[in-house]
Amino acid sequence: MVKLRLTALGENREELILLLDQQISLLKKEVAAHLAIDTNEELESYIGKLLLARNATVGTAESCTGGLIASLISAVPGASRYFGGSVVSYSNEAKQKLLGVKSSTLDQFGAVSEQVVKEMANGILTSIGCTYAIAVSGIMGPAGGTPEKPVGTVWIAVGNKEKIVTKQYKWGFDRSRNTKQTALSALNQLRLFILKDSTD
């Protein structure tokens, strides 16, 4: 997540405000596909407002992030109105028992796969009965990577009962930053999904 701040110096306040507004408009056009929000508001707070406006709820199924996404969501005052809960399924056994991930899926594709995060997302939608789901699985490091799935490989799924969308990321950071980046990317994927879901 990158935060940008534009500053203008000069003596005429009105001209500076106009100049900044023009530059912000130009910048928004350039980065529109990557822009999460254009205020100082935290992403998790913004998502809370999106959910409340739709009378919707969210649940998370987390492996590699160990509950960080749930922690970010629940840190917002009033989150109990839209946060259904979370399952931290670090082990394959927990994924199977708590989220209904099939052993055959784990055997064929591995825990860090598109197929597994889809099943995790469906599992949290069913078990909590929420409107939207986030599911993540990945290899945070420093160990655990393979040539096919190096450290930093992450799969994220977001969706609802009608549709689950997935995205793979390959981070190149240390464990802490890989985890934080995964959590923020998952929240942003949810934001995009909710906004698109509202226009479909």
For residue 144, give the CATH number of its domain.
3.90.950.20
> Is the pLDDT assigned to residue 183 strictly greater than 80?
yes
User: Average pLDDT in the 177-184 region?
Assistant: 96
Q: Which domain holds residue 177?
A: 43-199
- Identify whether 7 is part of a domain: no
The per-residue DSSP string of the chain comes to ----------S-HHHHHHHHHHHHHHHHHHHGGG---SSS--HHHHHHHHHHHTT--EEEEESTTTTHHHHHHHTSTTGGGTEEEEEE--SHHHHHHHH---HHHHHHH-SSSHHHHHHHHHHHHHHH--SEEEEEEE--SSS---SSS-TTEEEEEEE-SS-EEEEEEE--S-HHHHHHHHHHHHHHHHHHHHHHHHH-
> Is the pLDDT assigned to residue 78 strictly greater than 80?
yes
- Identify whether 23 is part of a domain: no
Q: CA-CA distance, 27 to 122, in Å (whole number)?
A: 37
- Identify whether 15 is part of a domain: no
> Is the pLDDT assigned to residue 21 strictly greater than 90?
no
Structural domain count, the chain: 1
- Identify whether 35 is part of a domain: no
Q: CA-CA distance, 184 to 181, in Å (whole number)?
A: 5
- Identify whether 37 is part of a domain: no
Q: What percent of the chain has pLDDT over 70?
A: 92
Best CA proximity match to 120, nearest among 180, 64, 52: 64
Q: CA-CA distance, 181 to 175, in Å (whole number)?
A: 10
| Dihedral of the alpha carbons of 19, 22, 24, 30, in degrees to the nearest 10 | -140
pLDDT tens-place string over residues 86-130: 999 999 999 999 999 999 999 999 999 999 999 999 999 999 999
> Is the pLDDT assigned to residue 74 strictly greater than 90?
yes
- Identify whether 116 is part of a domain: yes
How many other C-beta atoms can be found within 10 angstroms of the C-beta atom of residue 1? 12
Q: What percent of the chain has pLDDT over 90?
A: 75
Do residues 122 and 105 touch, judged by C-beta distance below 8 A? no
How many other C-beta atoms can be found within 10 angstroms of the C-beta atom of residue 70? 23
- Identify whether 154 is part of a domain: yes
pTM: 0.84
Residue 1, pLDDT score = 56
